[in-house]
Structure 1
């Protein structure tokens, strides 16, 4: 059986859409600007040493499961922090706890980890 080649298809002319009109720009009401602040040279700047701002720390978002008894410690610790007039967020308490654990030696860290109640991994099932 002989095969015949068909000539390659040539691209036809495509319909070109008319260019879209740009959206009307909103004009914000004029706000009074603060007076320009002039830079006051400091002793370090006078020495010719440039100080750069610290690079931004990348924030990571995560979620996890914990027993209700452990979760109930968060408001109790927040209340303790308010007692010495240092309001604390939940994330600050968790971060402070991580730093406290990092400062422990291996034996104390193991003891702290072994004292935790085991939980099942994964998300809890939805009630309903």
Structure 2
């Protein structure tokens, strides 16, 4: 998962704290899955279209 998305998870965790709800990363991910599952097909497609495709696997090691 890209570093920026980990930062977004931290932002969402802080948002939960601000709203009086301590949230774990796994709970955020599960809530996201539930939210996606509840979407209409059109909204699901829109949500998936804004997620950038990333190359799978581990990044190459720096050999310097």
TM-score by length of 2: 0.86
Question: What SS does structure 2 have at the residue aligned with 1:77?
Answer: helix
Greater per-residue helix proportion = 2
In 2, the alpha carbon distance for the partners of 1:106 and 1:112 equals 10
Which runs of structure 2 are paired with 1:1-128 in the superposition (5 Å)? Answer: 66-128=1-63
Partner of 1:117: helix, strand, or coil? coil
Unpaired stretches in structure 2, ≥5 consecutive residues: none
Paired positions, count: 63
Higher Rg of the two aligned structures: 1
1:36-55 C-alpha deviation (Å, 9 max, x unpaired): xxxxxxxxxxxxxxxxxxxx
Q: Which runs of 4+ in 1 moved over 3 A?
A: none
Shift of 1:67: 1.7
RMSD: 1.3
